[in-house]
């Protein structure tokens, strides 16, 4: 399963995302829904509807209607988040966690994506929390994040039932700038393509910064 589409040319944004959205739902319709739930940690709530927890909130995925909604009030979901959810569901292999953390650079093609990843998923956190890394912890708690014992401050967020991400920050001083990294389980590629990991982390960072 390929990840989220690259940024399209002007005027092609809606078409590129719509095509990816339709393709993901097409794959979901062809899949055994019980198997999808088993591998992803989703929960069936009807013959063609499942519930999936994403960043501590429950989303409903109706594969016949082709809709991803938030909560019982059917709140619409941004297209990028819907695609993340769909890609996770159709990619998940159910692989048990290796309990071995790796950095983003160690995932397949991580080195290639790293400049973009750093700009979108590390630098914004350093700009906000570099001088006081501990401030990241209460922000992450709003999304179910818990403190981890690494660096000067670290948090682990359960993005999906079988995908956790950990940010580690080191405080800057007069001699060294603030720095940070992201850690994931070695099995991450069995749940999301690399380009989706970038978008997932960027989505989380945007939510964290808005929370504070």
Report d(CA 44, CA 49) in Å as an integer: 6
The yes-or-no verdict on residue 146 having pLDDT over 70 is: yes
Please say whether the beta carbons of 153 and 136 come within 8 A.
yes
The pLDDT-based confidence of 9 (bands split at 50, 70, 90) is very low
25-63, pLDDT tens digit by residue? 999 999 999 999 999 999 999 889 999 999 999 999 999
Predicted confidence at residue 183, as pLDDT, reads 97
Predicted confidence at residue 173, as pLDDT, reads 81
The mean pLDDT of the chain is 91
3-class SS at 149? coil
CA atoms within 13 A on the CB side of 190: 13
Mean pLDDT, to the nearest integer, of 115-130?
A: 95
The yes-or-no verdict on residue 17 having pLDDT over 60 is: yes
Mean pLDDT, to the nearest integer, of 180-204?
A: 96
């Amino acid at each position: 399963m390929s990840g989220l589409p690259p940024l399209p040319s002007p005027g092609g944004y809606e078409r590129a995302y719509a095509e990816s959205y339709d393709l993901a739902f097409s794959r979901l319709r062809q899949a055994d829904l019980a198997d999808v739930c088993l591998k992803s940690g989703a929960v069936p709530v009807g013959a063609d509807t499942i519930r999936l927890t994403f960043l501590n909130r429950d989303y409903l995925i109706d594969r016949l209607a082709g809709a991803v909604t938030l909560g019982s009030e059917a709140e619409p979901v941004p297209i990028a988040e819907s695609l993340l959810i769909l890609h996770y569901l159709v990619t998940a292999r159910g692989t048990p966690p290796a309990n071995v953390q790796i950095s983003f650079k160690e995932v397949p093609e991580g080195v290639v994506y790293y400049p973009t990843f750093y700009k979108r998923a590390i630098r914004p956190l350093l700009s906000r929390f570099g001088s006081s890394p501990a401030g990241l912890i209460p922000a992450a708690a709003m999304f179910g994040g818990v403190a981890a014992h690494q660096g000067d401050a670290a948090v682990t967020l359960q993005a999906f039932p079988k995908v956790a991400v950990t940010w580690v920050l080191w405080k800057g001083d007069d001699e060294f700038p603030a720095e940070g990294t992201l850690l994931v389980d070695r099995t991450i590629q069995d749940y999301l393509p690399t380009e989706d990991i970038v978008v997932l982390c960027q989505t989380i960072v945007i939510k964290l910064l808005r929370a504070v």
